[in-house]
Amino acid sequence: MPVRWYSNVVDCHDPVAQGLWWSEVLSWRVLYQSDEETVLIPPWMGTDAVSHEEWAHYPPGMVFVRVSEDKQVKNRLHMDLAPHTKDDWDEEVARLLGMGANEVSVGQKDVPWTVLTDPEGNEFCVLRSRDR
C-alpha cells in the first residue's frame, strides 16, 4: 500500500504570522495554532470542528513550524498558485504584493508566471491562465 500525502510543512521563524498570512492568501482556515505550529486546511473541508488528531484523516493541508535557522537558498520545492480564469491575474498579484509578498527573480525569462516570496522569503509562483 502506498504512503499518503499528509501535509506541506514550511519551516519559519513565526508560525503564527506565517500561518495567518497564508490562510488569508488561500482563504484557508486555521485548524490548530500554537507558538510552535500552525495548521491550515482548505475551506471545502467544512466548518465542523476538527481536532488536530482527526486531521490525519483529511487531504493534505499546510503546517508552519518554528525553526531557529534562517532560510539560506532558493526553495527546491515551491507552490504554484493560480487565480480562477475569471479573475484578473494582475489584480491578484497586486493583492499579494499589498499583503507583504515580494517579487523576485530566480532566473526565469519570458514565462507565463511571476515568482513571489512570502514574508519570510519562501518562493511561490502565480501562474497566468493557459489556453490548454
What domains are defined for the chain? 7-66 (3.30.720.120), 79-127 (3.10.180.10)
Return the pLDDT at 131.
54
pTM of the model: 0.84
Return the pLDDT at 27.
93
44 DSSP assignment: G
Calculate the average pLDDT of the chain: 87
Which helix (H) or strand (E) segment is 89 a member of? helix 89-98
β-bridge partners, 63: 9, 39
Return the pLDDT at 106.
85
Q: What is the pLDDT of residues 52-71, one digit of tens each?
A: 666 566 667 899 999 999 88
Return the pLDDT at 84.
85
**Nearby residues of 81 by Cβ (< 8 Å), 6 or more positions away:** 25, 26, 124, 125, 126, 127
Cα distance between residue 19 and residue 4, in whole Å: 23
Listed as ranges, residues in the chain with pLDDT below 50 are 132
70 DSSP assignment: P
Return the pLDDT at 50.
61
**How far is the first Cα of the chain from the last one, in angstroms, to the nearest whole number?**
34
Return the pLDDT at 98.
97
Return the pLDDT at 57.
63
Return the pLDDT at 6.
78
Amino acid making up residue 12: C
55 DSSP assignment: G
